[in-house]
Amino acid sequence: MDKTNLVPVAVPRHVAIIMDGNNRWAKKRLLPGVAGHKAGVDAVRAVIKVCAEAGVEVLTLFAFSSENWQRPAEEVSALMELFLRALRREAKKLKENEISLRIIGDRSRFHPELQAAMLAAEAETAGPSKFVLQVAANYGGQWDIVQAAQALARKVQAGTLQVEQIDAQLLEGQLVTAGLPLPDLCIRTGGEHRISNFLLWQLAYAELYFSELFWPDFKHHAMRAALADYATRQRRFGKTSEQVQAEARQ
């Protein structure tokens, strides 16, 4: 059965995407790596459009991991310049389309000019929105859990929280994604089958979808196919299929 023509009957509230394959896309075309990152911007626009039209509430894109600083200096520099230009160019368009931008991750390592552009873009798109776009930049899932634990530890140290009060819900409230629904669907492009330190806590029960397409080729049709595939999944959260079916009939 061709799932690409199906209209999703179950739409994920939150989609998270590991945008992989930009460098390999460029290498295949005998182009410099930055060309792949530039081409990937069109895929970002396409995925935002499809998700917004489908009724997805939150889209989180893994743009730059805490490990990506290890890449060649010229590539990192080009990525930072591309990120800066995109923030300045796209903020107005996001606001016009009622899309709120949030940037998650440790910003301290970014150049002050880029940090200022992040704040400006978030401020420009703040307020009521139909759709939240989260961009994970200098983000790592382990870092996120550690900073949440540190925040709780400071409260214990200050005497405003007892150790016995700490539970999963409390820790989750300190993650950088606090206040938003957890991801229902995590997509990774580029043919790799791992989550690479992305939203480690938040993806505990997410459905995983892997695409062989390099990120610049993951456009409207591919995103619709991923949503159609998600609609065929049965999410049990530890229950049996019979329990889930019985609850659906109630």
**106 belongs to the catalytic site:** no
Count the neighbouring beta carbons within 10 Å of the beta carbon of residue 132.
Answer: 19
Which CATH architecture group holds 3-140+185-232? 3-Layer(aba) Sandwich (3.40)
Provide mean pLDDT across the span 176-198. Answer: 97
- pLDDT, residue 7, reads 46
Helix, strand, or coil here: 187? strand
- What is the reported pTM? 0.91
- pLDDT, residue 236, reads 76
- pLDDT, residue 244, reads 66
On whether the CB atoms of residues 134 and 177 are closer than 8 A, the answer is yes
- pLDDT surpassing 90 at residue 217: yes
Total H helices, total E strands in the chain: 8, 6
Q: Where are the domains of the chain?
A: 3-140+185-232
Residues 90, 96, 98, 101: what is their CA dihedral angle, to the nearest 10 degrees? Answer: 20
pLDDT in tens, 96-138: 999 999 999 999 999 999 999 999 999 999 988 889 999 999 9
- Which one of 68, 97, 106, 197 is the catalytic residue? 68
Q: Give the chain's mean pLDDT.
A: 92
**Residue 211 φ/ψ, nearest 5 degrees:** -115, 140
**68 belongs to the catalytic site:** yes
- Which one of 2, 5, 20, 42 is the catalytic residue? 20
